């Protein structure tokens, strides 16, 4: 009941906290979303679900999907993964090309777009049907076998993927992307278009709160060590060049997406997902971050 009371309090405090940002209009299909939507869900390791607001509203998870592809690829590549992508904060925008030339096509971390493209490229190499296999993986994590891609959003992103295509070609020029850049962008835009609600998203991150195991089924997704490292990467790099401020304010491993979703994990206890589509200048949900800051403050728990 403590979690329910806290998230209902946060929802009441922030339900009118709007007008301080903009939806992701550079992707036309995303510009149609109601900017005032606001949902929160807490999912605990013992199976309890607590929600407030528009928790049933569906949105595309966008860059949050990078955690799923990283988990799938890392269990095949192990430490070899860090030969193709770094694990340091970038300090630059999520779609920046600035560091790539200086660092010879090795992206700074897996959560900036260049790094995510490298990970998706390896997903395409490792899996026979990467789009289908990714969807199967996320369905298992969320417990919803009906999850799917939002085809309208995927097509809209593919049609406006000029910068991501530039990133893919630039990294390929250094030999760090193996597949055709156009096919890579198609797969990448589909992964970003996975449509979820806050309950499904929170449940899908519980494996990172439980040492790599899906609590509802007991299925092991990754080892304890990998789970720890994924959480560490989310803490240091999960919100792009706002990651330091997020760690300071919220104190949890987290990942954001330009669809307005933000998800965070308290290891050993729970996952929490917030959806609020208006974004700040860093491309993160400003109300989502505010809600998570209040959650750890009112609960009195963080990783620190």
- Domain ranges (residues) in the chain: 2-299
Per the CB < 8 A criterion, the answer to whether 70 and 230 are in contact is: yes
The residue annotated as part of the active site, out of 37, 65, 66, 153, is 66
The residue annotated as part of the active site, out of 3, 11, 149, 188, is 188
The residue annotated as part of the active site, out of 3, 149, 240, 286, is 240
Model pLDDT, residue 20: 92
Model pLDDT, residue 16: 96
Model pLDDT, residue 27: 84
Model pLDDT, residue 29: 87
Tell me how far apart the alpha carbons of residues 138 and 130 are, in angstroms, rounded to a whole number: 12
**pLDDT tens digit at each of 304 positions of the chain:** 699 999 999 999 999 999 999 999 888 888 889 999 999 999 999 999 999 999 999 999 999 999 999 999 999 999 999 999 999 998 777 778 888 888 899 999 999 999 999 999 999 999 999 999 999 999 999 999 999 999 999 999 999 999 999 999 999 999 999 999 999 999 999 999 999 999 999 999 999 999 999 999 999 999 999 999 999 999 999 998 899 999 999 999 999 999 999 999 999 999 999 999 999 999 999 999 999 999 999 999 999 8
Please indicate whether residue 162 is annotated as part of the active site: no
- DSSP helix/strand/coil, 284: coil
Note the CATH number of domain 2-299: 3.40.710.10
Model pLDDT, residue 298: 97
Query: Exposure string (b/e) for 16-52, b if CB count within 10 Å is 16 or more?
Result: eebeebebbeebebbeebebebbbbbbbbbeeeebbb
User: Using only C-alpha atoms, what is the Rg of the chain?
Assistant: 18
Main-chain dihedrals φ then ψ at residue 195, nearest 5 degrees: -100, 125
Model pLDDT, residue 28: 87
Please indicate whether residue 240 is annotated as part of the active site: yes
Please indicate whether residue 258 is annotated as part of the active site: yes
Please indicate whether residue 274 is annotated as part of the active site: no
Please indicate whether residue 11 is annotated as part of the active site: no
- DSSP helix/strand/coil, 137: helix
Query: Exposure string (b/e) for 283-298, b if CB count within 10 Å is 16 or more?
Result: bbbbbbbbbbbbbbee
The residue annotated as part of the active site, out of 37, 51, 55, 63, is 63
Sign of CA dihedral 178, 183, 185, 188: negative
Q: What is the DSSP letter of 22?
A: B
Model pLDDT, residue 257: 97
């Amino acid at each position: 009941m403590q979690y329910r009371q806290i998230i209902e309090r946060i929802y009441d405090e922030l339900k009118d906290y709007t007008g301080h940002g903009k939806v992701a209009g550079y992707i036309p299909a995303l510009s149609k979303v109601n900017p005032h939507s606001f949902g929160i869900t807490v999912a605990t390791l013992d199976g309890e679900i607590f929600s407030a607001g528009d928790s049933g509203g569906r949105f595309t998870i966008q860059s949050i999907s990078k955690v799923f592809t990283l988990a799938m690829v890392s269990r095949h590549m192990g430490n070899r993964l860090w030969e193709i992508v770094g694990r340091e904060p970038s300090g630059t925008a999520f779609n920046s090309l600035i560091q790539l030339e200086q660092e010879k096509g090795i992206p700074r971390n897996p959560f900036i777009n260049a790094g995510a493209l490298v990970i998706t490229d390896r997903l395409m190499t490792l899996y026979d049907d990467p789009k289908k296999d990714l969807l199967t993986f996320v369905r298992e994590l969320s417990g919803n076998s009906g999850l799917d891609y939002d085809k309208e959003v995927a097509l809209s992103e593919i049609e406006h993927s000029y910068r991501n295509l530039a990133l893919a070609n630039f990294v390929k020029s250094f030999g760090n992307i193996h597949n055709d850049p156009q096919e890579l962008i198609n797969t990448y835009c589909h992964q970003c278009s996975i449509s979820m609600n806050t309950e499904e998203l929170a449940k899908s991150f519980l494996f990172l709160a439980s040492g790599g195991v899906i609590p509802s089924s007991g299925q092991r997704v990754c080892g304890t060590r990998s789970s720890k490292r994924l959480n560490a990467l989310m803490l240091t790099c999960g919100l792009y060049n706002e990651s330091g401020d997020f760690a300071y304010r919220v104190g949890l491993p987290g990942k954001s997406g330009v669809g307005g979703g933000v998800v965070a994990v308290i290891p050993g206890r729970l996952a929490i997902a917030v959806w609020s589509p208006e974004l700040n200048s860093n491309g993160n949900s400003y109300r989502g971050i505010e809600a998570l800051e209040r959650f750890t403050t009112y609960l009195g728990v963080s990783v620190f």
